[in-house]
Amino acid sequence: YDIYGKQVIAGDIHPDNLGLHLQYCGDDEFNNCIQIRGIPTKAGIAKVRIHGGLGGGMLSKSGEFDKTYTVTIKDSEGSS
Protein backbone atom coordinates (compact mmCIF):
# COMPACT_ATOMS: atom_id res chain seq x y z
CA TYR A 1 0.00 0.00 0.00
CA ASP A 2 1.16 3.54 -0.65
CA ILE A 3 1.14 6.36 1.88
CA TYR A 4 -2.49 7.13 1.00
CA GLY A 5 -3.68 3.58 1.73
CA LYS A 6 -4.11 2.67 -1.94
CA GLN A 7 -3.06 -0.85 -2.95
CA VAL A 8 -0.02 -0.79 -5.25
CA ILE A 9 0.83 -3.57 -7.70
CA ALA A 10 4.51 -4.26 -8.26
CA GLY A 11 4.31 -3.83 -12.01
CA ASP A 12 2.84 -1.87 -14.88
CA ILE A 13 1.56 -2.12 -18.45
CA HIS A 14 2.71 0.22 -21.22
CA PRO A 15 1.12 1.83 -23.07
CA ASP A 16 -1.47 2.34 -20.35
CA ASN A 17 -4.35 3.14 -22.73
CA LEU A 18 -4.99 -0.41 -24.02
CA GLY A 19 -7.78 -1.18 -21.54
CA LEU A 20 -5.65 -3.64 -19.56
CA HIS A 21 -4.53 -3.55 -15.94
CA LEU A 22 -2.74 -5.71 -13.39
CA GLN A 23 -4.63 -7.19 -10.47
CA TYR A 24 -3.81 -9.57 -7.63
CA CYS A 25 -5.49 -12.98 -7.97
CA GLY A 26 -7.08 -12.70 -4.53
CA ASP A 27 -7.35 -10.37 -1.57
CA ASP A 28 -3.86 -11.22 -0.31
CA GLU A 29 -1.14 -9.35 -2.20
CA PHE A 30 1.44 -11.77 -0.76
CA ASN A 31 0.04 -14.79 -2.63
CA ASN A 32 2.52 -14.48 -5.53
CA CYS A 33 -0.19 -14.28 -8.18
CA ILE A 34 -0.86 -11.33 -10.49
CA GLN A 35 -3.32 -11.36 -13.41
CA ILE A 36 -3.61 -9.21 -16.52
CA ARG A 37 -7.27 -8.15 -16.61
CA GLY A 38 -9.49 -6.05 -18.85
CA ILE A 39 -10.77 -5.94 -22.41
CA PRO A 40 -8.33 -4.53 -24.96
CA THR A 41 -9.67 -1.35 -26.55
CA LYS A 42 -7.30 -1.41 -29.51
CA ALA A 43 -4.66 -3.52 -31.18
CA GLY A 44 -1.02 -3.04 -30.33
CA ILE A 45 1.90 -4.34 -28.34
CA ALA A 46 1.78 -4.19 -24.56
CA LYS A 47 4.88 -4.39 -22.40
CA VAL A 48 4.09 -5.89 -19.01
CA ARG A 49 6.70 -5.40 -16.29
CA ILE A 50 6.51 -7.27 -12.98
CA HIS A 51 9.06 -6.66 -10.24
CA GLY A 52 9.45 -7.48 -6.60
CA GLY A 53 11.53 -9.15 -3.96
CA LEU A 54 11.80 -12.42 -2.13
CA GLY A 55 12.38 -12.62 1.59
CA GLY A 56 15.28 -14.66 2.87
CA GLY A 57 15.31 -17.22 5.61
CA MET A 58 17.79 -19.00 7.81
CA LEU A 59 19.09 -21.15 4.95
CA SER A 60 18.32 -18.93 1.97
CA LYS A 61 19.18 -15.40 0.99
CA SER A 62 16.77 -12.72 -0.16
CA GLY A 63 16.55 -11.73 -3.79
CA GLU A 64 14.83 -9.49 -6.29
CA PHE A 65 13.27 -10.05 -9.69
CA ASP A 66 12.37 -7.79 -12.59
CA LYS A 67 10.68 -9.39 -15.62
CA THR A 68 9.24 -7.79 -18.74
CA TYR A 69 6.80 -9.62 -21.03
CA THR A 70 5.48 -8.61 -24.45
CA VAL A 71 1.81 -9.22 -25.29
CA THR A 72 0.57 -8.73 -28.86
CA ILE A 73 -3.06 -7.62 -29.11
CA LYS A 74 -4.59 -8.26 -32.51
CA ASP A 75 -7.68 -6.66 -34.06
CA SER A 76 -10.77 -8.76 -33.52
CA GLU A 77 -11.88 -10.59 -36.64
CA GLY A 78 -14.70 -8.91 -38.48
CA SER A 79 -14.02 -5.48 -37.04
CA SER A 80 -13.88 -2.53 -39.39
Flag whether pLDDT at 1 surpasses 70: no
Query: Can you give the pLDDT at residue 71?
Result: 94
Flag whether pLDDT at 68 surpasses 90: yes
- What pLDDT digit, counting tens, does each position of 2-50 carry? 676 666 677 899 999 999 999 888 776 666 788 999 999 999 999 999 9
The 8-class DSSP code of residue 33 comes to: -
Residue ranges of the domains in the chain?
A: 11-73
Query: Which residues face 6 on adjacent strands?
Result: none
Query: Which residues face 25 on adjacent strands?
Result: none
More confident residue, 1 or 27: 27
Query: Can you give the pLDDT at residue 6?
Result: 64
CA angle 65, 45, 1 (to 5 degrees): 40
Please give the distance of CA 79 from its chain centroid, rounded to a whole number: 28
Query: Can you give the pLDDT at residue 70?
Result: 97
Residue type, 80: S
